[in-house]
Amino acid sequence: MENKLAKIISDIEKNNKVNYNSIFIRKDISDLDVLGTIIYCLKNNVDDVNESYDLNYADIENTYFNDGEIEDYLKNYNETEEDYLDDVLNEFVKIAIHESIKNTKINFSFNDVKQEALFSIIKFKNEYYDKLSKNYDKEFLKNVLRLFVRRALISYQYNELSIYSEQEYLSLLYIKIVSEVNEGENLDDILNRVGINKEYYEKLARVYENKDFSLSYDDIKEETERVKRKYEIALNTNRLTFLEETVLSMYLGLDGEKLSISDIAKKNDTNKENIQELINLSIMKLSLIFNMDILDYLERIQTDLEGINDKLI
């Protein structure tokens, strides 16, 4: 039987591209499978093709509040940067912060995501770094680590979102069962078909029996697809634009030497005021905490945009 790593690499070779996030959310592969995939892709310069969405903050007022602790942390990062008394770990921490900035999804706290990133670099340092450093140089391993951290962050947020999506799926499952019973189908036959036992169904009934549902079978199918899509969009919605995350990482010194606002302005052929405004905006965006309603909004917006695009094609 073909092992999982061999199958993943075989698929990548066929397509000559990789969607890391689709691999990173899998629960059936080990850290070693993930590291093997990352190393293969980096050595062979395989392109990462990850779908992502940017967010128009002007349209989402009143869906969030500001977390001052996150704002203070980012504004004062260079003054309060911790020394882990280990040069390698100090470099790895910068990678963890950088990946947290890039991969904090819309309804997660930057602080929570950063904590997961720090856990992942410690794990990498303790369990894999010494072994891998016998075969690969430090710069290559830093690129491996970036993707290892990204995997930890994507996996963490996917698992958290799965809890919410499962709750929505269960309500739809209950509606589906009740609708089919009302149409005259035998309850036991339905339960066998959907793969749950009577005891579990009775638990669902206790949760949902007093709720008023008015969805047809077609509505249920459509709503199930919408829920699935909603959480996919959530996992692929960026807090910052590419320019914002690049400028902020330069300012914080997360990807090489820390640059002054003047130096960043020269690099980007603009003035200092624009760069300062961009940095302030980026920090503000990362400090926001959204409520869950934002996910329904994102799904509606993306569906509307795709509807417009379909008409233009």
The verdict on residue 217 lying in a domain is: no
Residue 69 lies in a domain: yes
Q: How confident is the model over 43-93, as pLDDT tens digits?
A: 999 999 887 877 777 666 666 778 889 999 998 887 766 677 788 888 999
Count other Cβ atoms within 10 Å, centred on residue 37. Answer: 23
Provide DSSP, 32-56: HHHHHHHHHHHHTTPEE----B---
**Which tokens hold the place of 43?**
């050595």
Confidence at 312, pLDDT banded by 50, 70, 90: very low
Structure tokens at 103: 């991969």
Answer yes or no: is 110 within a domain: yes
pLDDT in tens, 167-204: 777 878 887 888 888 888 888 888 888 788 888 888 88
How many C-alpha atoms does 217 have within 13 Å on its Cβ side? Answer: 6
Instruction: Check residue 1 and give its pLDDT.
Output: 38
Q: Does the residue 258 lie in any domain?
A: yes
| 235 has pLDDT over 80 | yes
Assigned domain for 174 exists = no
Residue 286 domain-assigned? yes
User: Which residues span the domain enclosing 78?
Assistant: 51-162+234-312
Q: Average pLDDT for residues 260-277, to the nearest whole number?
A: 94
Tally of domains in the chain: 1
pTM for this structure?
0.83
Among 215-229, 270-284, 288-302, which range has the highest average pLDDT? 270-284
